[in-house]
Amino acid sequence: MKRTTEGWGSGLLGVIIFSGSLPATRVAVADFSPIFLTSARAVIAALLGSLFLLALRQPRPVKQDTVPLVFVAIGCVVGFPLLTALALQHITSAHSLVFIGLLPLATAIFGVLRGGEHPKPAFWLFSTIGAAAVAGFALYGSQAGNVTGDLLMVAAILVCGLGYAEGATLSRRLGGWQVISWSLLLPLPLMAIIALAYLPTSWGNIHLSSWIGLGYVSVFSMLIGFIFWYRGLALGGIAGVGQLQLLQPFFGLLLAALFLHEPVAWTMVVSTLIVVLCVAGAKRFS
């Protein structure tokens, strides 16, 4: 019981940190290209992660950990950041945040397929209701939406769900911060080359807000958030704790409204409230 409670608490901290990712990305892509932003954040986080691994003298992962780490790298280090950065060139961060409501369902499905979990049937009911509320909003015809941006967000959710499930399974043995640190190191050479190739042509035109956005997604979204998130998934269960992501749109919408002054439609608020209510039901039957 204590491990489960600690898992949900740690997972909630991870969600709160992640909730600033899309607003920060939206700010950063105003001056940085999506490809540079994706590669630069991965390089910065990888360098920090490598310092932790060296300072604490962590052993190398064994051979059978390679494939899961590759999945984490593809889903969380490269796929989700790049796809969301591309999507945010077409949609607002407030609109994109509601798609995060699909992440719990994707994470739970991959938790069953890759993590060996077996939630009760009632869990799937609550999880599906939450996802349906998000899909209903997306199909409502919000003016902030865009077919290209929406499809990119759906693809981002799928690869991220896979990365979350693989990382959580590994975290049970390696530890949460170790998993994300090793996953960041795998594509480091490639990400460094790409970052150098897509350097901004003029540094003087980059606003302070874009630098802050890059710093946030590099340090918090790419590293610190995963430390709490993977620990939460490992202790409390992938499918169950994964439902906390239903709260992420709520936090993110507040940030988008407060800091980016983006309009928040009533449909966004209603869909968010519905998925938040689904967390309690999903938690009970996870």
**What pLDDT, on a 0 to 100 scale, did the predictor assign at position 189?**
95
**8 Å CB contact between 176 and 226:** yes
CA-to-CA distance for 174 and 62, rounded, in angstroms?
A: 10
Expressed as residue numbers, the domain containing 46 is: 2-285
Q: Which helix (H) or strand (E) holds 162?
A: helix 147-174
What does the mean pLDDT of the chain come to? 85
Amino acid in position 31: D
Exposed e or buried b per residue across 19-35, where buried means at least 16 C-beta atoms within 10 angstroms of its C-beta: bbbbbbbbbbbebbbbe
**8 Å CB contact between 103 and 160:** yes
CA-to-CA distance for 189 and 279, rounded, in angstroms?
A: 40
Q: Which residues contact 54 (CB under 8 A, 6 or more apart)?
A: none
Reading the block at residue 32, the tokens are 């940085």
Residue 29: name the closest of 69, 85, 80, 82 by CA: 85
What predicted TM-score, i.e. pTM, was given to this entire model?
0.82
**What pLDDT, on a 0 to 100 scale, did the predictor assign at position 7?**
86
Is it the case that residue 137 has pLDDT exceeding 70? no
**8 Å CB contact between 33 and 209:** no
CA-to-CA distance for 282 and 125, rounded, in angstroms?
A: 8
Q: How confident is the model at residue 283 (pLDDT cuts 50, 70, 90)?
A: low
Q: How confident is the model at residue 118 (pLDDT cuts 50, 70, 90)?
A: confident
CA-to-CA distance for 267 and 215, rounded, in angstroms?
A: 31
Is it the case that residue 242 has pLDDT exceeding 90? no
Q: For residue 263, how many other CB atoms are within 10 A of its CB?
A: 12
Exposed e or buried b per residue across 116-144, where buried means at least 16 C-beta atoms within 10 angstroms of its C-beta: ebebeeebbebbebbbbbbbebbeeebeb
What is the sign of the dihedral through the CA atoms of 255, 259, 262 and 265?
positive
CA-to-CA distance for 234 and 14, rounded, in angstroms?
A: 13
pLDDT in tens, 258-272: 776 767 667 777 777
| Relative orientation angle of helices 225-236 and 176-185, to the nearest 10 degrees | 130
CA-to-CA distance for 15 and 122, rounded, in angstroms?
A: 23
Amino acid in position 99: F
**8 Å CB contact between 250 and 97:** no
What does the angle CA 118 – CA 83 – CA 80 come to, to the nearest 5 degrees? 40
Residue 230: name the closest of 171, 184, 280 by CA: 171
Span of 188-192, 199-203, 208-212 with lowest mean pLDDT: 199-203
Residue 64: name the closest of 209, 174, 194 by CA: 174
Of 262 and 119, more confident = 119
Q: How far does the chain reach from its first CA to its final CA, in angstroms?
A: 14
Total structural domains in the chain?
1
